[in-house]
Amino acid sequence: MKKEGQHTGMKNIVLLALPQVQLLDIAGPWDVFTAANRFLNTDKEDTGYHVYLVSGTSEKVIYSGSGMPLSCSHTIYDIDFPVDTLLVAGTALSVLEEISHDLYHYLQNIKSDVRRLGSVCVGAFVLAKAGLLDGKQVTTHWKFADTLQKSYPKLEVNVNPFFIRDQPIYTSGGVSSGMDLALALLEEDFGKPLAIEVARHLVLPLKRAGMQSQFGDALPEYEIKSPFTKEVRDLLKDKLGEAITVEYMAEFLNMSVRNFSRVFLKESGMTPGRFLEKMRLDQAKNLLEYTEMSVDMIAVKCGFSNAVSLRRVFLKNISLSPAQYRKAFKTAE
């Protein structure tokens, strides 16, 4: 029985590619949708997906970021079929400055004609530049989330999820997150059993554990770019196992606690306590990846009161326990 809101019938999926596109941004969703066709009832020719690779330029042959040539069936100038779902694949940010404004006009014009509009990885920048994400909750590759937020302040960027749905806009995180999004769209269209079957066929979980942010540093470089913040980071980096207070940080810089906290928040965008927690989290992640040290010892070395406290911080920030993180990211022997 079809659930309420579930869609059936044949749907045209457009994967919109630009020069220097990341191959997996296209190949991942493509394999999810085409694999679904194999498992659908083949007697019903009007059920499933037609998937099209469409160039966002006037050229049908474009080159991926790895140099592989891609032959598109259409360009944005000659699409001659109704589009159900359009996903903009990611590319190098520098490419976006070279793209014709025709692309952004095309997306603006097609918005009202498609059921779903979305992006993979930094494809969110294309939708944002077209003005289609204003007021929306969105995500993108964890490395570029801060750039997206600062470039388009009307957006609400959340780096944690693998994908976000803010109807009728769908945005996904970095690279392989496009497959997480495609599986979610498949489940939305044809139900969970088929989505599970496709996920198993592709040797993927239907829903990945943790958050996209587990793949990046808790404290990326962009959060320590000011000289003031770097000075605090340099002060703390060899003392993370010690009891550190805001008073200690302020005294080192010959500032009052109140003035230090105010300046630090302005320079880094977070409180000193949150900054310290992120530094400790990054050190714990590093020790879990590269050492055999027990979780209890890591907790003490990184300044957490005990393993329970360390676990709580991991779950809060990346939705994985320290043991789960080690299992996922421990270096190969």
- Separation of alpha carbons 242 and 106, rounded Å: 57
* Whole-number pLDDT of residue 146: 84
Q: Is 213 exposed, middle or buried (0-12, 13-18, 19+ CB in 10 A)?
A: buried
- Separation of alpha carbons 149 and 125, rounded Å: 10
Structure tokens at 331: 């270096």
Structure tokens at 215: 């793949």
* Whole-number pLDDT of residue 2: 41
* Whole-number pLDDT of residue 4: 38
Instruction: Pick 72 or 159 by higher pLDDT.
Output: 72
Structure tokens at 326: 């080690």
- Whether the per-residue pLDDT at 218 is higher than 90: the answer is no
Angstrom CA distances, 114 to 10, 84, 154, stand at: 14, 5, 23
Q: Cβ(124)–Cβ(140) under 8 Å?
A: yes
Instruction: Pick 286 or 63 by higher pLDDT.
Output: 63
Q: Which of 37, 55, 57 is nearest to 47 (CA)?
A: 37
Counting residues of the chain whose pLDDT is more than 90, the rounded percentage is 62
- Whether the per-residue pLDDT at 282 is higher than 80: the answer is yes
Provide DSSP, 45-107: TTSEEEEEEEESSS-SEEE-TTS-EEE-SEETTS--S--SEEEEPP--GGGGGTS-HHHHHHH
Predicted confidence (pLDDT) per residue in 159-203, tens digit: 878 899 998 999 998 878 899 999 999 999 999 999 999 999 998
* Whole-number pLDDT of residue 219: 62
* Whole-number pLDDT of residue 215: 59
Instruction: Pick 87 or 159 by higher pLDDT.
Output: 87
- Separation of alpha carbons 14 and 179, rounded Å: 15
Predicted confidence (pLDDT) per residue in 239-260, tens digit: 999 999 999 999 999 999 999 9
Predicted confidence (pLDDT) per residue in 221-234, tens digit: 545 568 888 899 88
Question: To 5 degrees, how large is the angle CA 295–CA 159–CA 213?
Answer: 20
- Whether the per-residue pLDDT at 313 is higher than 80: the answer is yes
- Whether the per-residue pLDDT at 217 is higher than 60: the answer is no
Predicted confidence (pLDDT) per residue in 196-208, tens digit: 999 999 988 787 7
* Whole-number pLDDT of residue 1: 35
* Whole-number pLDDT of residue 212: 60
Predicted confidence (pLDDT) per residue in 36-56, tens digit: 999 886 545 678 999 999 999
Angstrom CA distances, 251 to 28, 220, 256, 269, stand at: 52, 26, 7, 21
Look up the pTM and report it.
0.70
Predicted confidence (pLDDT) per residue in 88-114, tens digit: 999 999 998 889 999 999 999 999 999
